[in-house]
Amino acid sequence: MKLVIVTAVEEFQNDILKLFKNSNIESFSTSDIDGYKNLPNLLATSSWFPSVKGGSDSHMFFSFTEEEEIERLFHLIADFNSKIKTNNPVRAIVLPIEKFI
């Protein structure tokens, strides 16, 4: 068993859900996050009451699943990223799980 974490901008949320389904990953969780790309812009907008939001609305998806499903998901994400016309590709990582209950 491994932990897969996927991040994507909000516009890709439905696409990521389809990728998880097509990978046979049926159990997963999501979280809304703010994504940042450029640290100097973040520092420029940091204040007690910023008038402009510094981050992009994004989502994080994560699942404890088997390697076979993760390999399928990575293949589908690579294919998806090759077809998008944005500088915000879907990102994914895998972490090994040493122990679980």
Mean pLDDT, range 82-100, rounded to an integer: 93
Residue 61 lies in a domain: yes
Total domains in the fold of the chain: 1
Backbone phi and psi for residue 98, each to the nearest 5 degrees, phi listed first: -80, -35
Secondary structure letter of residue 74 according to DSSP? H
Residue 29 lies in a domain: yes
The encoded tokens of residue 67 equal 């390697």
Question: Which CATH number does the domain housing residue 88 bear?
Answer: 3.30.70.120
pLDDT of residue 48: 53
CA distances from residue 40 to 8, 10, 33, 46, 92 in whole angstroms, order as listed: 21, 23, 19, 10, 25
Three-class SS state of 86: coil
**Which domain covers residue 27, as residue numbers?**
2-37+55-96
Residue 74 lies in a domain: yes
Residue 44 lies in a domain: no
Burial class (CB in 10 A: 0-12, 13-18, 19+), 65: buried
Residue 47 lies in a domain: no
Q: If pLDDT is split at 50, 70 and 90, which confidence band does 26 have?
A: very high
Residue 43 lies in a domain: no
pLDDT of 98 strictly over 70:
yes
* Identity of the residue numbered 98: E
Residue 18 lies in a domain: yes
